[in-house]
Amino acid sequence: ARQVPDLLSPEFAADPYPAYRVLRESAPLHWHEATGSYVISRYEDVERVFKDRDGEFTTENYAWQVEPVHGRTILSLSGREHAVRRALVAPAFRGRDLQERFLPVIERDSRELIDAFRHTGSADLVTEYATRFPINVIVDMLGLDKADHARFHRWYTSVIAYLGNLSGDPEVTAAGERTREEFAAYLLPIVRERRDNLGDDLLSTLCAAQVDGVQMSDEDIKAFCSLLLAAGGETTDKAIASVFANLLRHPDQLAAVRADRGLVARAFAETLRYTPPVHMIMRQSATEVRLSGGTIPAGATVTCLIGAANRDGDRYRDPDRFDILRDDLTPSTAFSAAADHLAFALGRHFCVGAFLAKAEVETGVNQLLDAMPDMRLADGHEVVEQGVFTRGPRSLRVRFTPVAR
């Protein structure tokens, strides 16, 4: 049997894909001592756990994974309570609300960032664009003060570090918990004030939302907004950067997307399959469950490797090839967010922000292509990906012909 690589080793962090292959082929149900979890990597197994047709899994693991920084949110709820709580927030992220209220915000926030560097001739698309854009969008959607952006970026960075702190660094843990306090002190007075002065922003929508006589408390709203900043910020930032990293490394496909903007949706979908922003999602088993590689006992933690499942040769032809035209992947549409890969998960916890993410990435990609018709990787720049829980390019230096101010 081939040696199963250590998921916390530097080699794994540098390039997890060879390890994913070994896991899929030789150890599809792998006990991982350090995280105390069963690791699964095959498409059919991860899909089955996410869909959870027979109610064999819960998301109780989020009680210890994310509640310490965000408070209690829909992520850790199950059953009817989850359904009602999710229904309170979901409508704001799709359909007419998204198209009419928030698309103009998305377009404006993207343009503001691009205007700051388009006259310079070079930019780092990660630090100057991707890490700022989605968080600015959420702050603006919520109707919070733009002047507080720096503070949001700081909080967001410490929450992300907390969630990715697989080795348990106590300073990172303490900083994450401090952020929870600071965020509550900032947002709770704003929520109370907003309840008396409802406007057209997302925070007002959350204050007013009602399903089956249930409303969100101030604490619920604070926790959900905290989750939004992390769940909607970091993931989308990595998605945009990865779309460009993949296209810049495949110039023929970049040229095709430039020529036919209808292909942007395909570039996004293939990027989510090939280099998903979120690589690991956990679940808790409620009963004994039989998967393709063996049986998981009741009460166990399961780590679903999205990055491995999305490259399963039993699901995709030539899975390690980036190919926006592949015929075994159907991109999501304006009406169906359910894309043909596992990057947004599936089932009850399927990403609530999938349409929003699609709108942000497609708007961003189109605007960046328009602003920089000859964008290319800076000479000598090698794209390095980082992160094992979430993953994306560390930086992306590009050059282009500057426009006059």
Interacting residue ranges for ligand HEM, rule: CB under 6 A: 59, 74-75, 86, 93, 227-228, 231-232, 235-236, 239, 277-278, 281, 343-345, 349, 351-353, 356-357
Closest CA to 349 of 41, 60, 40: 60
Taking the complex as a whole, how short is the minimal distance between the CB of residue 229 and ligand HEM, in angstroms?
9
Closest by CA position to 239, among listed 371, 62, 363:
363
Strand, coil or helix: 71: coil
The answer to whether the CB of 137 falls within 8 A of the CB of 98 is no
The DSSP annotation for 13-27 comes to HH--HHHHHHHHHH-
In the bound complex, what is the minimum distance in angstroms from residue 93's beta carbon to ligand HEM? 5
The residue among 22 and 211 lying less far from ligand HEM, judged by its C-beta, is 211
Residue placing its CB nearer to ligand HEM in the complex, 27 or 281: 281
Between residues 235 and 285, which has the closer beta carbon with respect to ligand HEM? 235
Please give the sequence-ordered ranges of beta strands (E in DSSP) within 135-293, or none if there are none. Answer: 210-211, 214-215, 280-285, 289-291
CB of 377 to ligand HEM, least distance (A): 22
Smaller CB separation from ligand HEM, 134 or 176: 134
Tell me the closest approach of the beta carbon of residue 52 to ligand HEM, in angstroms.
10
In this structure, how many other beta carbons lie within 10 angstroms of the beta carbon of residue 37? 22
356 or 400: whose CB is closer to ligand HEM? 356
Pick between residue 176 and residue 232 the one whose CB is nearest to ligand HEM.
232
CB of 358 to ligand HEM, least distance (A): 8
Q: What is the SS3 assignment for 331?
A: coil
Phi, psi of 298 (to 5 degrees): -65, 150
| Chain residue whose CB lies nearest ligand HEM | 353
Cβ distance to ligand HEM smaller for residue 133 or 400: 133
Least spacing, CB of residue 301 vs ligand HEM, in Å = 13
Instruction: Report how far residue 209's alpha carbon sits from residue 346's, in angstroms, rounded to the nearest whole number.
Output: 25
Q: Are 134 and 236 in contact (CB under 8 A)?
A: yes
> Which residues are CB-contacts of 308 (< 8 A; sequence separation ≥ 6)?
16, 20, 21, 23, 24, 41, 42, 46
The minimum distance between CB 269 and ligand HEM, in angstroms, equals 10
Other Cβ atoms within 10 Å of 86 Cβ, number: 17
